[in-house]
Amino acid sequence: MRVVTQLAVLAVIGGLGAGWHLYGERIGLPKPLALLGLETRQNEVQRPAGPPPNAPLPVAVAPVRIGTVVERAESVGTVRARESVNITAKVAGIITAIHFQEGQMVREGQVLVELDSASVRAEYDQARAAADDARLQLQRARALPAGQAVAQAQIDRLDAALRQAEGRVRQFQARLEELRITAPFSGRVGLRTVSIGALIQPGTLITTLDDTSRVRVEFSVPEIFIARVRPGSQVTATSVAYGARRFEGRVTVADTRIDPATRTLRLVSEFDNPDDALKPGMFLNVQIVLETREQALLVPEEALDPVGDRNFLYVVRQGRAARQEVQVGQRLAGEVEITRGIEPTDQVVVRGLQRLRPNAPVRVTEVLTRPMS
């Protein structure tokens, strides 16, 4: 009786399916629940079996690479001439000669401008004549025979007169030097602001003079780096004016104080400037080397598995994926430095991370290599 009942149920379901396919499917009726259940059981029977739960997962790995990592701090700097001065007059006078061209290189001691010296030179000549006369009188007094010798007091007066006359000579010599304006050091002069025949006063700007054969670049770094910067630290600078060109220099001096407003340390570096490419006042992007690590451990960046502010790696050990928390250092192009958590002989999982679980069995299908930097 039970068998007959089961056959009857199957016949009904078959009839429902046939009827639905003939009429219901054409007019959009929903599929009968009994038919849905039957198809579900059939699909379950036909579905292929998946891999065993404990089968090793295929992964691609990369060995830990040992390379050099340079840690830098970035800042902005301003170019200063190693020596810079405004050329001005010490005394009033009329310009009679200009001995330089704008932008010209000049030598230390070279005469740049001359002022009218006619009146001063006349006074200088008179002072020299008076000094010569005083010297002659003193020589004659000292050369007299013993019987005709003058008193010692007279000789002292003649000697004092000579010293006074020589002092006036030196005084006028100094005035003549002030009328000849010279370069205090070798460098390049700037724009000229005066002309021949102009009457200038003490302090009048004539031109500028900069020694740019070697320039100073001033910049600041946060105080947290104070223990890692020192004279001699390497500095690299770039400018938008020169594209990819890089200028190399060294820190020469560090300030003795921290700026209380910005909490930064001011540094001065020097750069060779043989082609005069760096001009005083230029803005530069600066990088200072804080530390160089020759034996840094590097892994591909895609091997990292970050969780919040923590970072993890899967390391293949004895056929299983060991999940290691690591400390990240510097980030390079496509690589990241690991300062703690792995060994130089480890292999880290790069592909297949999504399906991995801690201590899961793995099968290495590819070992990725990277070029040495």
DSSP result, 199-243: EE-TT-EEEEEEEEEEEEEEEEEEGGGTTT--TT-EEEEE-GGGT
Residue 320 belongs to a domain with what CATH number?
Answer: 2.40.420.20
Looking at the DSSP assignment, which residues form a beta bridge with residue 286?
Answer: 75, 237
Has residue 61 been placed in a domain?
A: yes
Has residue 246 been placed in a domain?
A: no
Which DSSP string do the residues of 254-283 spell out, in sequence order?
A: EEEEEETTTTEEEEEEEEE-TT--S-TT-E
- Separation in Å, CA 223 to CA 71, 220, 260, 285, 288: 16, 9, 10, 19, 14
pLDDT tens-digit readout, 359-371 = 999 999 989 886 6
Helices 2-19 and 33-46, axial angle in degrees (round to 10): 100
Q: Would you say the C-alpha torsion 164, 165, 166, 171 has a positive or negative sign?
A: positive
Same domain, 167 and 137: yes
Has residue 172 been placed in a domain?
A: yes
Residue with tokens 């100073």: 216
Contacts of 292 (CB under 8 A, 6+ apart): 68, 69, 70, 71
Same domain, 8 and 61: no
Looking at residue 103, what DSSP letter applies? T
Q: State which residues form the domain around 159.
A: 117-178
Mean pLDDT (whole number) for 247-265? 95
Contact 172, 127 (CB under 8 A): yes
- Separation in Å, CA 63 to CA 316, 328, 345, 364, 368: 10, 17, 7, 12, 8
Query: Higher model confidence: residue 240 or residue 52?
Result: 240
Reply yes or no on whether the pLDDT at 75 is more than 90.
Answer: yes
Binned at pLDDT 50, 70 and 90, residue 156 comes out as confident
Reply yes or no on whether the pLDDT at 285 is more than 80.
Answer: yes
Has residue 328 been placed in a domain?
A: yes
- Nearest C-alpha neighbor of 176 from the set 238, 129, 122, 100: 122
Domain stop point among 162, 178, 194: 178
Has residue 6 been placed in a domain?
A: yes
Task: Choose the weakest-confidence range: 10-14, 165-169, 220-224, 290-294.
Answer: 10-14
Domain stop point among 178, 208, 225: 178
Reply yes or no on whether the pLDDT at 259 is more than 70.
Answer: yes
- Phi and psi at 304, nearest 5°, equal -70, 140
Has residue 281 been placed in a domain?
A: no
- Nearest C-alpha neighbor of 216 from the set 244, 184, 253, 246: 253
- Separation in Å, CA 46 to CA 39, 41, 42: 10, 9, 6
Domain stop point among 178, 198, 213: 178
Same domain, 27 and 61: no
When divided into structural domains, the chain yields a total of 3
Burial class of residue 263, CB neighbours in 10 A (0-12, 13-18, 19+): exposed
- According to DSSP, the β-strands at 105-106 and 360-367 are unpaired
Same domain, 304 and 351: yes
Residue 144 belongs to a domain with what CATH number?
Answer: 1.10.287.470
Reply yes or no on whether the pLDDT at 67 is more than 60.
Answer: yes
Has residue 103 been placed in a domain?
A: no
Reply yes or no on whether the pLDDT at 26 is more than 80.
Answer: no
pLDDT tens-digit readout, 138-148 = 888 777 765 55
- Separation in Å, CA 297 to CA 189, 266, 320, 339: 53, 33, 22, 7
- pTM here? 0.63
- Separation in Å, CA 51 to CA 44, 57, 301, 349, 361: 16, 10, 30, 21, 13
| Amino acid 149: pLDDT | 60
Tokens at 264, concatenated: 């930064």
Mean pLDDT across the chain: 85
Strand, helix or coil at 119? Answer: helix
Tokens at 306, concatenated: 């970050």
Binned at pLDDT 50, 70 and 90, residue 52 comes out as low
- Measure the CA–CA gap between 54 and 123, rounded to whole angstroms: 112
Same domain, 9 and 62: no
Strand, helix or coil at 24? Answer: helix
Mean pLDDT (whole number) for 159-170? 89
Has residue 263 been placed in a domain?
A: no
